[in-house]
Structures are given as C-alpha cells and as structure tokens.
C-alpha cells in the first residue's frame, strides 16, 4: 500500500504584500531620495513578490540622524523597565502575528513553512522575550555597574534566517539602550518591512528602529557612516573581512558572525537512528543555508557503511518541493546566485574525485532547487571539505581514533559549530574541550536558545550573540 500525502498548502491569504515598499525611517515609511527600486522574488516559483527601495548614502544619513535623535531625546531617557515594556510588547505582537510572519518568510526566502512556523518565528519572539527581561537588570549582568550603550548601532543581516537574525540583532540592541539602523538582505527584505509595521503597532518611539532595504552599497554606507558607533554583521567571511578593514582605525565597535564548516563527529557507539536524524537536521535544515551547519560528517570508519545505509534510506524520505506545503522538508534555494554557487562547489567535488549521492527526487521546474546530496571519498584536501557551500551538500570524511577526529574537525579556518555523537558522557566532555568551535552540540544539532551565546572562533567571527555574553557586545564597560 502506498500512503501518498495530498498537498497541504498553507494559505497565503493572511499576508498582505504591497506592490512597493519605501524605507522605514524615523517611525514612518518614506521615499528614497534616489527613487531606485529593485524586485524581490519568491525563489520557489520566481514570481515577483514586491518592489523594494534601494537606500542610498543620503538615506543612510537620514536614518542615522533619526536614530541619533531618538537615542538622545527619548530612548536613552527611558528606564530599563520602560524599554523592556516595548520589547515585551513587540514579542507578544510577533506571537500574535506569527502565522503571517511564517507565511511571508517562507514566500520571500523559500524555506519550508514547517520551519518558519516551528523554528524561525517562535525563536524570534523568544529573543524579544528573553532580552525584554534583561532590560532592567543590566547592572546585574556581570558587566560592571551601570554599563552604557554604544548609541547608534548599524546592523546588517543575512538572507538565511531573515526574521530570526533581525531578532538576534534588534532585541539585544534595544534592551541595552541602543538605537538601530538595520539593513535586511537584498533577497529577503519583506519580513523586516513587516517588522517595521510591528514597531509602529507597538508604539515604539520614532527613530529607535530604522530599516533600510538595499544591496551591498547600502551596507557599505552604513558601515562607513561616522555617526554609527557599533556595527553588527552576520554574513559571509568575505564581506566580514571587508567590514573589519573598513572599521579598523575608527572608534566603532564590531561584532561579526561569519561562515563555518562545522564538523559533525559520529563515534562508533552513537545512538544510530537519532544520529541519522541529527545529521539530517545538521545539513538539510533550511536547505543547508546555515552558517553553523554540520556540513562535514566525520564518521568513525568502522560504522561508516551502516551509517551511510541508514542515511540514504532517511534521505530518500526528505520531501522536497513547495515551501508552503506543510509536509515539505526541504524548500527552495534562496537565489539563482546561491544555486550557481552550490552547483559550482558540487561540481568541484565531482572533479576532485569525490562520489556524489542524492535520492531520487522530482524537483519543480520553476524556481531554484538542489536535491539533498552527500559526497563520500572526501579528504581534507578537497574544496568541498574546506570551503563553505551553504547548501544541502554534506561531505563525508572518516576517522579511526578520537584524536584523529578532533584533529580533522579543527583543521579548518572556521570554528563556528561542531557536533559530537556518542553514548559515552566522558567522551562528550573530552571532545568538547578539544574542539575549537563556538557552539558544540552533544547528541543533537542546530538547537538554538536565546539564553545560549552563539558565535565563532577564527574566521567564523568575533563576539557572541545571545545570552549574557551577547549583551556585552552592545554595552560599553570595563568588562571587555
């Protein structure tokens, strides 16, 4: 008997996408001085969703001025408890409008509704709740007496978790008393613009949050604006390096959350079925567009065959297709450019002699799609073992002993995440001590919590986001 799941599409009636959007500056939507617009599309069908504004340097200047005024006149005059009140209000509105955000995020980004509904949006609200609680307790955060905000912070966020990354940036900035100029990614601006409406709905004082859509030029104008006191960036290591150079020699504070090539280490005594789930969740969650993805599978050689058999079986169950279908597991690649990059990297794997495997799956004709894939026969020297692919492509590497596993895991310019799978508690503790990665998961992967600091070693970035450590990035004091 065959159990076919009939289409179960989430309705899009709940979202109201305007044909055009302006910039959100000083509490209002205003036209750009440049008047330039660009399209944002649904990557699952290539249909245009809306046209958004390309913010110019003059717009950035306007936004920074509004944020500065808001900082001086209102936001810095409020008590922590009063700031917290706004954050709680925003958090509640995000929960109330969760389905609207989930549907819009899925449409603009291509990720499955199951993930936006169950992960992105609930976590975004959780970040606001968490930081709302900190707003009046900063004196007790272990960061010295009366730590002070930077003032105006510039925030540039990526396209892989648009709303969640906005929450990671905006919630701690506001809780600590900063005002914000934020630029969402070029391909995923719509939930940030919906968030601007939430700021209005919450009666957030004007100018506290300003949202500028645009491309890298807008980002550069934010980074280089002299009125900005701190930059927080999440994105590629390549752009992170450019930002670090631009900021060097200025008084601007900087946090960077960059790329990764996370090792997911499977020891022979791992609970195998849950490990397979963890591998799937590590690399095929969010189409592999995850900086902390477990993109390198380090498996002990004596269980490799059994593990790969199980992995293949499980991968053939991954449902690829319409992101708005509630049963979809793997959605669309976010953009044509990203799809090109993933293809190019996968082809380098073929060319360098690794062996590619994907389950049989029917990809839609329109839109940007890449099947869940892994490569075996990968060595440390392969490009697919060293460079971030940022797609649903896993590189399988074997090891013989625990110390070889650690050595290989650390043999990367990155250091964002790692996973350890074993039934032995002592081995978890030992491995975690040896691994040079900012986040280490034991017998799980890609679990996030606002109370847990997130960030990288080496080329994966500077500073931490989330938790008590994340507050430090938005405060000045004698603690750093």
Cβ nearer to other proteins, comparing 114 with 304: 114
Cα-based distances in Å from 383 to 39, 282, 292, 448, 457: 33, 20, 18, 29, 20
Give the nearer residue to other proteins in terms of CB position, either 7 or 226.
7
Provide the 3-class DSSP secondary structure of residue 15: coil
Burial label for 359, CB within 10 Å (0-12, 13-18, 19+), is middle
- Give the shortest CB-402-to-other proteins separation in angstroms: 18
Catalytic entry in 115, 257, 388, 459? 257
Q: Cα separations (Å) of 364 from 3, 44, 317, 400, 426? A: 21, 8, 17, 41, 46
Residue nearer to other proteins on the CB measure, 178 or 275: 275
CB of 338 to other proteins, least distance (A): 26
Q: What's the closest the beta carbon of residue 441 comes to other proteins, in angstroms?
A: 11
Q: How far is the CB of 444 from other proteins (least distance, A)?
A: 6
- Of 2 and 251, the one with the shorter C-beta distance to other proteins is 2
Grouping H, G, I as helix, E, B as strand and the rest as coil, residue 199 is: helix
Q: Which is nearer to other proteins, 4 or 365 (CB)?
A: 4
Given the residues 291, 388, 459, 465, the one annotated as active site: 291
Find, among 212, 367, 234, 220, the residue nearest to 289 by Cα. 234
Nearest distance from C-beta of residue 275 to other proteins, angstroms: 8
Closest CA to 32 of 24, 42, 41: 24
Q: Which residues bind other proteins (CB under 8 A)?
A: 1-8, 114, 118, 269-275, 277-278, 317, 326-327, 423, 443-444
**Least distance between other proteins and beta carbon 447 (Å):** 9
Query: CB of 306: closest distance to other proteins in angstroms?
Result: 9
d(CA 138, CA 471): 8
DSSP 89-146: HHHHHHHHTHHHHHHHHHHHH---HHHIIIIIHHHHHHHHHHHHHHTT-GGGSSS-SS
Element holding 427 (H helix, E strand): helix 425-434
Among residues 237 and 275, whose Cβ is nearest to other proteins? Answer: 275
Is 291 a catalytic site residue? yes
Q: Which is nearer to other proteins, 274 or 347 (CB)?
A: 274
User: What sign has the CA pseudo-torsion 124, 106, 102, 28?
Assistant: positive
User: What count of Cα atoms within 13 Å lies in the side-chain half-sphere of residue 432?
Assistant: 15
> Annotated catalytic, 257?
yes
Which residues are registered as beta bridge partners of 37?
Answer: 53
Contact 127, 169 (CB under 8 A): no
In 386-420, which positions are buried (b, 16+ CB within 10 angstroms) versus exposed (e)? ebbbbbbbbbbbbbeebeebbebbbebebbbbbbb
Catalytically annotated residues: 257, 291
């Amino acid at each position: 008997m065959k159990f076919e799941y009939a289409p179960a599409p989430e309705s899009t009636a709940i979202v109201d996408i305007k044909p055009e959007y302006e910039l959100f500056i000083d509490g209002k939507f205003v036209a750009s001085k440049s008047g330039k617009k660009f399209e944002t599309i649904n990557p699952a069908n290539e249909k245009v969703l809306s046209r958004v504004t390309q913010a110019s340097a003059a717009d950035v200047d306007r936004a920074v001025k509004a944020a500065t005024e808001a900082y001086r006149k209102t936001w810095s005059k409020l008590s922590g408890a009063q700031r917290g009140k706004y954050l709680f209000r925003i958090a509640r509105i995000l929960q109330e409008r969760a389905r609207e955000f989930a549907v819009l995020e899925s449409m603009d980004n291509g990720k499955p509704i199951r993930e936006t509904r169950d992960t992105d949006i609930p976590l975004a609200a959780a970040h606001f709740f968490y930081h709302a609680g900190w707003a009046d307790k900063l004196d007790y955060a272990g960061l010295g007496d009366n730590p002070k905000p930077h003032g105006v912070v510039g925030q540039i966020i990526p396209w892989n978790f648009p709303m969640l990354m906005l929450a990671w940036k905006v919630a701690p900035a506001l809780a600590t008393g900063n005002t914000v100029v934020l630029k969402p990614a070029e391909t995923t601006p719509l939930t940030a613009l919906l968030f601007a409406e939430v700021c209005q709905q919450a009666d957030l004082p004007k100018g506290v949050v300003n949202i500028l859509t645009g491309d890298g030029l807008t980002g550069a104008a934010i980074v280089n604006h002299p009125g900005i006191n701190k930059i927080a960036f999440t994105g590629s290591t390549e752009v992170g390096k450019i930002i670090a150079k631009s900021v060097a020699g200025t008084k601007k504070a900087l946090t960077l959350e960059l790329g990764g090539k996370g090792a997911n280490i499977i020891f022979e005594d791992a609970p195998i079925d849950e490990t397979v789930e963890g591998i799937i969740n590590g690399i095929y969650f969010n189409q592999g567009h995850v900086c902390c993805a477990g993109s390198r599978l380090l498996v002990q050689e004596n269980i490799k065959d059994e593990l790969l058999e199980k992995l293949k079986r499980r991968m053939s169950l991954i449902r690829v297709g319409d992101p708005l279908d509630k049963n979809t597991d793997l959605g669309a690649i976010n953009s044509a450019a990203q799809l090109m990059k993933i293809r190019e990297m996968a082809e380098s794997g073929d060319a360098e002699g690794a062996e590619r495997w994907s389950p049989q799956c029917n990809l839609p004709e329109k839109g940007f799609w890449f099947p869940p894939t892994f490569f075996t026969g990968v060595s440390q020297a392969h490009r697919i073992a060293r460079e971030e692919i940022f797609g649903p492509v896993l590189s399988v590497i074997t090891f013989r002993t625990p110390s070889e596993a650690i050595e290989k895991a650390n043999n990367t310019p990155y250091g964002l995440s790692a996973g350890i799978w074993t039934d032995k508690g002592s081995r978890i503790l030992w491995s975690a001590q040896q691994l040079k990665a900012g986040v280490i998961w034991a017998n799980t992967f890609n679990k996030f919590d606002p109370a847990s600091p997130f960030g990288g070693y080496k080329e994966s970035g500077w500073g931490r986001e989330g938790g008590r450590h994340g507050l430090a990035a938005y405060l000045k004091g004698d603690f750093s």
